[in-house]
Each structure stands twice: as structure tokens, then as C-alpha cells.
Amino acid sequence: MKKVLFVCLGNICRSPMAEAVFRKMVEDENLSDKIFIDSAATSSWEHGNPIHSGTQTKLKEQKIAFDLHKGSQKISSEDFYEFDKIIAMDESNLENLRKMAPEGTRQKIAMLLEQGVPDPWFTGDFQETYQLVKMGCQRLLDEIV
Ligand code: 4NP
């Protein structure tokens, strides 16, 4: 079982989108029993809050389920041991994760895409987020499989 954790700043826009998109791809490839997926935040700012309406709208448009997200959660130190891949949405997430990572877990941290996924909380462009997340998730799945 490979465990993948998608991480962004708030865990309400980008990482829950990546979690849902990646889970759908994994289900479509009949790999659900081999790959476990979750998402988390680097901050507690949105703790317990649901997925942003902009992300919900995109996922509904694409008929992608997102009901497993139970509110924003900050990444814990256990998560760094528990997960095999910790996937950051942008450079700032990557930097924060590297600072938070317990000894010996930093090699698990990587970017979803080299260019990063701009934060739609600031850009308002959830279509751009969706396209980049989809591209990154496809590449990640190809890499794992
Ligand atoms: P996310 O977007 O990191 O993609 O979930 C954000 C959500 C909330 C905030 C910033 C970014 N915030 O400042 O509360």
C-alpha cells in the first residue's frame, strides 16, 4: 500500500482538489486497494472548515466525489512517518513542509508540479487550479505505477 498526502496552505482549495482528482484516477485504474490518499494543510487557519465552494463547483462539474474530506486538518508529525509521499502544491508549502518534517522524513516531500499550483484563494481561478492539479496527478500516478 502506497500512501499519498497532498498538502497546501489551507486544505480547503488545492489539496482537497488534488485528493479528489487523484482518488478518481486511482479508482478508474482499479488501484484503490494499493494507493491510500488524503490531504492536509501546513496551517491551522481553516481548521475544520469544508472544501471551498470554488473547488466544490469544479469537482461537481467533473462529476468527481469529494465527500471523504471531513474538514481542514493541519499535517501532524505522525503524518510525515505514516505517508510515503507528501506532495506540496507550491514552493511555499514545500519550504514549510521541509521545516516541519521530523528527522529522516524530508525525502518524502515533493512538488506536485515543478511550476507549482497558484493559490486560487488569491487568484480566484479555479479552472487553472483544476487543469494544473489534473496534469500533476496524472504524472504522479504514472510515476507510482
Ligand atoms: P489552499 O488555499 O491553500 O489552496 O487551501 C487557501 C485557503 C485559505 C487561505 C489561504 C489559502 N487562508 O488564508 O485562510
Q: Which residues pair with 3 in a beta bridge?
A: 36
Q: Which residues pair with 87 in a beta bridge?
A: 6, 110
The span from the CA of 5 to the CA of 78, in Å, is 12
Catalytic residue flag (residue 8): yes
- Dihedral pair phi/psi, residue 37, rounded to 5°: -130, 140
Q: What is the mean pLDDT of the chain?
A: 98
Catalytic residue flag (residue 139): no
Q: pLDDT of 40-84, one tens digit each?
A: 999 999 999 999 999 999 999 999 999 999 999 999 999 999 999
| Cα 120 to averaged position of ligand 1 atoms, centre (Å) | 8
| Cα 84 to averaged position of ligand 1 atoms, centre (Å) | 24
Q: Is the CB of 13 under 6 A from ligand 1?
A: yes
| Cα 33 to averaged position of ligand 1 atoms, centre (Å) | 31
Mean pLDDT of 132-141: 98
Q: pLDDT of 12-31, one tens digit each?
A: 999 999 999 999 999 999 99
Q: pLDDT of 97-126, one tens digit each?
A: 999 999 999 999 999 999 999 999 999 999
